[in-house]
Structure 1
Amino acid sequence: MSTIDVHTHYVPRSWPDLSAAAGPGEDWPWPRLESERDVTIMIRSTEFRRIEANCWDAETRLADMDADGVDVQVVSPTPVFFSYTRPGDQALKVARIFNDLALEICAPAPDRFWPLCQVPLQDPDLACAELDRCLAAGHLGVEIGNHVGDRDLDDAGIVTFLQHCARVGAPVLVHPWDMPSSPRLNRWMAQWLTGMPAESHLSILALVLGGVFDQVPESLRICFAHGGGSFPFWVGRMDNAWHRRPDLVGTSEYPPSHYLDRFSVDTVVFAEPALRLLVDTVGVDRVMLGSDYPYPLGERPVGQLVRGAPFLTEPARAQLLGGNAARFLGRPVTVG
């Protein structure tokens, strides 16, 4: 039984000065690293996140994987680098820098690190071209943010990109990012504890009620990180609204529950009742192990929730730990 963690992140140990490489950043400053004491990602003078060697060092990651019984990590960008607020040509330059660095990070163990690329999603032509370049270079698929400013996943340009992903067979991981800020959300990590689940919920709803799943082929493989946010809990409410207020609720051909087999979710939900809800809602073949490694709010040991869930049969447990991911990613595991 192979274990595949579909939701992990990387940060390079260093990167070029993005202002020089991609353009000045007065309005939207580029992320940079400071290393006076801890290694810290900074935005202007504000600390975004402190990081450690497990973000970039293959030996550290492999040791953690072995300790947790993980065969493969799917290694994705950290969303702060997406650069969706920038002109497309600048975001493309940044994407190329980080995509190439991701390959370097994964190179020491290519059978155990499977990289996903990032793309300038605000420009569908550039996004499709960068995806193609990365697939040819060794990336397995792509991670995207769940929105570009006020454009959600039913935006025509983003739909064009998703159609391209389906056409070239690239799996897509959707990660919530750029959560709203307000005095009510800027305490207790509320942006992450309430805003992040809401972002995923809203963007799955956009795929459904925006009619995207009626437009893109069923061959599109798309997974939502963090368990799909709050969406699984509210399918009944959304169906009720679709039936009772069709004048207001979306343009989808069918109610939301009809589309539950069109996307997957990861297991980053931390509690057995939530995991059971995911399995009951989207199906046992649509839930894949994820951890959010190496960040502090991730699961460690990776997979402990799935391994310890008494409601799962052993065949179902094997599906969640690796079988579903191998099928979703279109790549067999050859570790050992």
Structure 2
Amino acid sequence: MTLRIDMHSHFFPPIGREEAATLDAQHAPWLRIDADGQRGMIMTGERAFRPVYRALWDPVARLEELDALGVDVQLMCATPVMFGYRYDAAGAHEWAMRMNDRALELCAASHGRLMALAQVPLQDVELACREATRAHRAGHRGVQIGNHLGPRDLDDEHLVTFLAHCANDGIPVLVHPWDMMTDGRMKKWMLPWLVAMPAETQLSMVSLILSGAFERVPKSLKLCFAHGGGSFAFLLGRVQNAWEQRDIVREDCPNPPVSYLDRFYVDSAVFDPRALKLLVDTMGEDRVMLGSDYPFPLGEQKIGDLVANHAELSAAAKAKILGGNAQRFFDLPDLASARAA
């Protein structure tokens, strides 16, 4: 049976309001767990942020669900509300270290089936680099960062410096959209998540390409974008055409946009077989990895089934996307023992 490695899932450790208050008593995120221990609410201060259930914080419950879904290994990363980019760097650094240590604790008893990606205090590039390296040496398989830092997109020199550090230290990077662009028009129906979130991801990818940032980052960087790269694959032709026709588009980008597709990966969380086919045709079968966004309702509920049941993907392509690409990207050890466990 084909190995399934889900490289995009989230966790939130069972931290109470008192612990969160060490970061910010008014707004820091914490977890309110119901009396039955099965469900809860992510809180930001006194405000309810998102209803959640036990698998988000309980590795035993998570592994039970992964068994039922046929997932062998899962990489967990912070729920983006945990990033802490709005706070002073020293406090965010301490918070990131604590959350990263908690993540490894959640993984410890899983016999290698649960692994973690670290978070970093991205607002201070020196501290972010320091924590990325510390966490990687402690056992994290890479880092997850938000796709922007306030008004700074990924092409900002501050963030390019961090990406270069990860390249030089051999630390894989997952870029996740967060704090979505909206001027108040997207009021209902989760439109920021449905419209702005894919746009945020495409903005990050195109910013790196057209700014010339990829010329300043070592080619050794292992970089992946969540949610299938958002709207990138569908609109790449528009970007390519603009580069060819307008000098203001290509003034900082020395090579055609399509030539940079070998500089990054995407996950498979697109939820539609036609979208997945376009994604694989665009990126190539070696640069798409299984990602579910588990355990949230907007994630793939039957993890890996979109890939495994796709009528137009070869068996070899499916094996790469379901597990082989992630095993190479994250330099994972032999996972036969994890499957046996």
TM-score range (shorter-chain normalised) is over 0.9
Amino acid at match of 1:263: F
The separation in 2 between residues aligned to 1:247 and 1:153, in whole angstroms, is 19
Uncovered stretches (5+) of structure 1, i.e. residues with no partner: none
Q: In structure 2, what is the equivalent of residue 232 of structure 1?
A: 233
Q: Secondary structure at the match of 1:164?
A: helix
Uncovered stretches (5+) of structure 2, i.e. residues with no partner: none
**Structure 1 pair 173–91 and aligned structure 2 pair: CA distance change class (3 A):** same
Deviations along 1:96-152, whole A, 9 cap, x unmatched? 111111011111114101110000111110001001111121111100000000001
Amino acid at match of 1:9: H
**Structure 1 pair 45–249 and aligned structure 2 pair: CA distance change class (3 A):** farther
The separation in 2 between residues aligned to 1:248 and 1:325, in whole angstroms, is 33
**Structure 1 pair 16–25 and aligned structure 2 pair: CA distance change class (3 A):** closer
**Structure 1 pair 182–25 and aligned structure 2 pair: CA distance change class (3 A):** farther
* Aligned-pair Cα RMSD in Å: 1.5
Q: In structure 2, what is the equivalent of residue 47 of structure 1?
A: 48
Give the C-alpha shift of residue 46 in structure 1: 2.7
Map 1:155-304 → 2, pairs under 5 A: 155-249=156-250, 251-304=252-305
Q: Is 2:181–2:196's contact at 8 Å kept on the other side of the alignment? A: yes
Amino acid at match of 1:308: N
The separation in 2 between residues aligned to 1:302 and 1:122, in whole angstroms, is 33
The separation in 1 between residues aligned to 2:290 and 2:220, in whole angstroms, is 21
Give the C-alpha shift of residue 17 in structure 1: 3.0
Q: Secondary structure at the match of 1:273?
A: helix
The separation in 1 between residues aligned to 2:280 and 2:251, in whole angstroms, is 26
Map 1:65-84 → 2, pairs under 5 A: 65-84=66-85
- After TM superposition, the score normalised by the length of structure 1 is 0.95
The separation in 2 between residues aligned to 1:34 and 1:102, in whole angstroms, is 18
**Structure 1 pair 42–133 and aligned structure 2 pair: CA distance change class (3 A):** same
Q: Secondary structure at the match of 2:208?
A: helix
Deviations along 1:201-234, whole A, 9 cap, x unmatched? 0000111011111111111001000000001111
Deviations along 1:28-64, whole A, 9 cap, x unmatched? x211233456511122443211111101211211111
The separation in 2 between residues aligned to 1:3 and 1:19, in whole angstroms, is 34
Q: In structure 1, what is the equivalent of residue 130 of structure 2?
A: 129
Q: Is 2:181–2:200's contact at 8 Å kept on the other side of the alignment? A: no
Amino acid at match of 2:235: W
The separation in 2 between residues aligned to 1:155 and 1:62, in whole angstroms, is 39
Q: Secondary structure at the match of 1:143?
A: strand
Give the C-alpha shift of residue 19 in structure 1: 5.8
Q: In structure 1, what is the equivalent of residue 139 of structure 2?
A: 138
Q: Is 2:181–2:192's contact at 8 Å kept on the other side of the alignment? A: yes
Q: Aligned pair count?
A: 333
Give the C-alpha shift of residue 183 in structure 1: 3.4
Amino acid at match of 2:186: L
The separation in 2 between residues aligned to 1:217 and 1:177, in whole angstroms, is 25
The separation in 2 between residues aligned to 1:247 and 1:182, in whole angstroms, is 27
Q: Secondary structure at the match of 2:154?
A: coil
